[in-house]
Amino acid sequence: MQIDREIESTTQHKLPQELDVENPQELVAELPQQTDGHERVTAKKRKRGRTMKQGIHVRGLEDRDSIIVIPYFQPVGLDEKIIIDFSEFLGTVARMSNLCPLNLEKWTDMNKFYKGAKERIWEYVKKRWIVPESARKWVLQTVGADWRTFKCRLKKKHYKPYKNNKMRWKNRPTEVSAEHFKWLLKKWDDPKDKDRAKVNALNRAKKNANEDKKEPTSVEMFKATVKRVIGRVYKAPIEDTQNKIVQMEALQSQQCGENVESVDPFVAVLGNEHRVRLYGRGVTSSSIRKTSSGNESGGNSASVNVPDELLQKLTAQVTEQVTAVLADKFSLTMAYHLKQISPQYNVDPEALKRLLLTPGDASSAQIHQSPHVNTSSSVNANEASNQGICHFGGFLVLVNLINLHGSFLLKMSMNGNGSASVENGSAGRDGLAKIQTRVKRQNGICHDDSGPPVKAQTIDELHSLQKKRSAPNTPIKGIQGAFGALSEEERHKLQLQSISASLASLTRETGPKLVKGDPARKAEATKHVHHHHHHHHVTPTISVSDSSLKFTHVLYNLSPAELYEQAVKYEKGSFLTSTGALATLSGAKTGRSPRDKRVVKDEITEQELWWGKGSPNIEMDEQTFLVNRERAVDYLNSLEKVFVNDQFLNWDPENRIKVRIVSARAYHSLFMHNMCIRPTPEELEDFGTPDFTIYNAGQFPCNRYTHYMTSSTSIDVNLARKEMVILGTQYAGEMKKGLFSVMHYLMPKRQILSLHSGCNMGKDGDVALFFGLSGTGKTTLSTDHNRYLIGDDEHCWSDNGVSNIEGGCYAKCIDLSWEKEPDIWNAIKFGTVLENVVFDEHTREVDYTDKSVTENTRAAYPIEYIPNAKLPCVGPHPKNVILLACDAFGVLPPVSKLNLAQTMYHFISGYTALVAGTEDGIKEPTATFSACFGAAFIMLHPTKYAAMLAEKMQKHGAIAWLVNTGWSGGCYGSGSRIKLKYTRRIIDAIHSGSLLSAAYKKTDVFGLDIPSEVEGVPPEILDPVNTWPDKAAYKDTLLKLAGLFKKNFEVFADYKIGLDTKLTDEILAAGPVF
């Protein structure tokens, strides 16, 4: 049939025409018109049509009504009609296809397919109502709910009653466009949609069948809402509440008799309710839960947001009412206290209240002589001023109370030791001599030189005074909420709510109960709170072990010194070394476990990520990830304390990422403190919700019987949920590299190239990139005391230049010495983490040559520990791109210049040797290919990164070099590794530009351009064939390596770059030629 063919060919989305929200006639025209408020359907019966609210749609700005927003962002009106009109108006907005298109699966896809659609809806609503900005989310949610309801009603009325699409089309709704109705018919005909509808119908039927329709009584509601939290302090004792409940239950049981008059037990015990009721939508449990978790936007949830226009009209009324109440209470209180001072001050409270409410001029300071103040002598106006009753703008200010006879002024001030002194007059009361303390002796021989006593009552309290509490020293930006900036206590509360939301269990939907501070210092903190109320909350004492009932202590963004204390005291294997660094162990895993890393494969990542042969991305499903997440979160919540770090990635302020790391070890917290960018106090106050969260439960294994699990270790990344879970490994490098993988996904989406590279900059601003895997010398060569260090491992290349992703360095320590690496050697000091090193048990001096624990010993330290680090870690566009390879075969030259095609070929190949210890299970160097010199971390296809690199190099004129830091004169085992000093001289020649003027010749097979000489480097080693004693063996080894390159590149040969295969062909031609 024709209509069926049209439905089948319907496209999913068609952008609506642009609308003018200033002129609503175009929108109102979409709504079905009414006749006298009714729609004529048949001659038998008139039915009410849908509410149109046309009068609201066409009214001007001056005719708008006001909407107030109460806590939890619920809108209310000043009367019932306003809020009813507002709710019905939003329902009409949801039916306007030009504002709310119907050809979408979900409301959340609105902005995805129709850019700015929700903002247009919000602007349209504001043109018809005076509504504060904080109601934006609620309004859009309400429109979305009405939009879904509208689609359901369309299906019920125009789809289900008819057998085929021909009949449905004939009876289609007039308010829905033809294209949108065709799309809806296509969707409703989908078998998957029909199956989903059946499941939903069954679920609704079960819910309705089990639903108890009986409303709870007032007594039942009171009993359910007076439960008390253990450890919280309440004003009223629990006995009072229990007695009231007993009285209510007694009255309720008495009414079971037949002759007893029915009385509401709740009202009889507590009295009638006195509540102020506003008209509006009620607060739901989900809205409270979301707001408590910090997921709602719009400011402080405890505030009421009133439009400015309405606020001006209400201010005068509120001020008048508040002034009357304050004047009444103030006059009674002041009259009482005056009489307590002296019976002669007999003030009439009513007269004082009238005086307070009398309009006055603050500038003139009118003085009133009140006859209602009875004294023993008459007083004139001047004496009244001495009495201190002055009227300033309607408020009474009592300045001083002076004896009306004026004989003397008596002021008593209590000294620190409780003694008193008379400050006016030479004699004390009753003619006694005036007493003075701490009189300085004129001769200076005998005097009291003791200091004031300490402000402490116990030793614990004295110790608490020893440590000064740090506070943000930067101003808070702007004003938060309706009543000014958040207090420090409120900020702490919001931080805990955000962390609790991060630790929320998916089954319980709520996070754990959190308190800040070390549980070992509960007693000290509790005593300290009594004297310093602005300090941390008192930790409730609770003696249960269930994680859902216990309190979890949050150690939030601790300093290195605090983390040292935690590690040394509670983590076995953590010690201070002779240089001040923290030596610790990573447990059974001393390297990464790439075979245990998983990425959730969903509809989006299936299309965007690199899967299949050669890819590092091993798939897992959403359900398995949630199982592992639940396991990790439950483990962390069961602990007495967890460490939480809120930090940043990427020094480019326009493209930085907020990350939160939740871990169980001080070692992990200090490691990430060093490796991520440390926020300033001001940035921490405004941190908010993180962009990505790591749950490190590495001390707890995964369930090996869970689907996709191959061992007790699992590192799981869910890009949709923006979360990473670590189970079964305590190696801290998993967190660092896991976040790097995330950046490899996020940055290319912003047209920013993420790079596994070191980066430094010369004094003239020339930037060099160093690509290479672990063990190729990337960290060593980028750390050059003659150049500024931008970073040693992870970077981004954007239109602004290059920027470091991290805030620290992660250097290998095996065989480290001051002679080889002075900058790294000197950086190992207080604050640095040393992983898996061996040290003398007495002197604590580290032996960097000892491989007893592992060959993969590491040092993690902040980048500012390098004296020549460039802060902030950003720089201009690179001038040189250096590809480092540790050639275990010994046939690649120490340095060669690459053209653009060769650069892409060797960048995609990523040849090096996997040095011992860099990954778990590797005991000796093994030749390997790692795409983009970091295949273990990339998310997209390697050619996408290579194309971006070529584009940026060509645009900014960068030159590429291939540098071999591996073997010469033979392969691994027979030859020797190229000396570091030679490699440094080669790198220096690249930086200076002298290599560009050298003479070059091409090598066989690989066709590389090698220079004839480099200052400070023996010329015979520049051509590798000269260093091999057996030339035939060299030729065989060269062909063997070339064959490995060819075989490796077969995976990428069929991938088209750009619109044609021209660039791909050039890259293939740049490879080895047999």
Out of 536, 737, 787, 944, the active site residue is 737
Output the six-digit token pair for 103: 């050809």
Question: Strands (DSSP E) along 714-807, which ranges?
Answer: 714-718, 723-727, 753-761, 767-771, 788-791, 794-798, 801-804
- Round to whole Å and give the CA distance between 16 and 31: 16
Count of positions (residues) in the chain: 1074
Alpha carbon dihedral 937, 939, 942, 948, in 10-degree steps, equals: -100
Is residue 534 annotated as part of the catalytic site, yes or no?
no
Q: 551-556 and 575-576: which strand pairing?
A: unpaired
801 forms beta bridges with 798
- Write the CB contacts of 510 (distance below 8 Å, at least 6 apart in sequence): 289, 293, 500, 504
- Round to whole Å and give the CA distance between 342 and 376: 12
- Round to whole Å and give the CA distance between 24 and 9: 33
Output the six-digit token pair for 791: 């970073």
> Where does residue 314 fall: left (phi above 0), alpha (psi -120 to 50 degrees), or beta otherwise?
alpha
Out of 713, 776, 779, 930, the active site residue is 779
Output the six-digit token pair for 84: 């009813």
Is residue 592 annotated as part of the catalytic site, yes or no?
yes
Out of 774, 780, 1027, 1037, the active site residue is 774
Out of 631, 756, 941, 991, the active site residue is 756
Out of 85, 784, 792, 793, the active site residue is 793
Out of 858, 879, 906, 941, the active site residue is 858
- Round to whole Å and give the CA distance between 1006 and 1074: 9
Is residue 858 annotated as part of the catalytic site, yes or no?
yes
Query: Which of these, 710, 675, 679, 682, lies nearest to 696 by C-alpha position?
Result: 675
Alpha carbon dihedral 369, 370, 374, 375, in 10-degree steps, equals: -10
Number of H helices, E strands in the chain: 33, 42
Query: Which of these, 722, 747, 702, 503, lies nearest to 597 by C-alpha position?
Result: 702
Is residue 275 annotated as part of the catalytic site, yes or no?
no
- CA angle, 69 then 75 then 78, to 5°: 90
Is residue 232 annotated as part of the catalytic site, yes or no?
no
Out of 118, 778, 812, 944, the active site residue is 778
- Round to whole Å and give the CA distance between 743 and 750: 11
Segments in 716-762 forming alpha helices (H): 733-749
Is residue 793 annotated as part of the catalytic site, yes or no?
yes
Sign of CA dihedral 24, 27, 31, 33: positive
As a whole number of angstroms, the longest Cα–Cα distance in the chain is 128
Q: 959-964 and 1000-1002: which strand pairing?
A: unpaired
Out of 151, 186, 592, 870, the active site residue is 592
726 forms beta bridges with 696, 715
- Round to whole Å and give the CA distance between 410 and 529: 37
38 forms beta bridges with 35, 48
DSSP 883-899: EEE--SSS-S-SEEEE-
- Write the CB contacts of 1062 (distance below 8 Å, at least 6 apart in sequence): none
- CB count in 10 Å sphere of residue 861: 24
- CA angle, 776 then 774 then 863, to 5°: 100
Is residue 707 annotated as part of the catalytic site, yes or no?
no
Q: 1009-1011 and 1000-1002: which strand pairing?
A: antiparallel
Instruction: Specify the 3-state DSSP secondary structure of 313.
Output: helix
Which residues are designated catalytic?
592, 737, 756, 774, 778-779, 793, 858
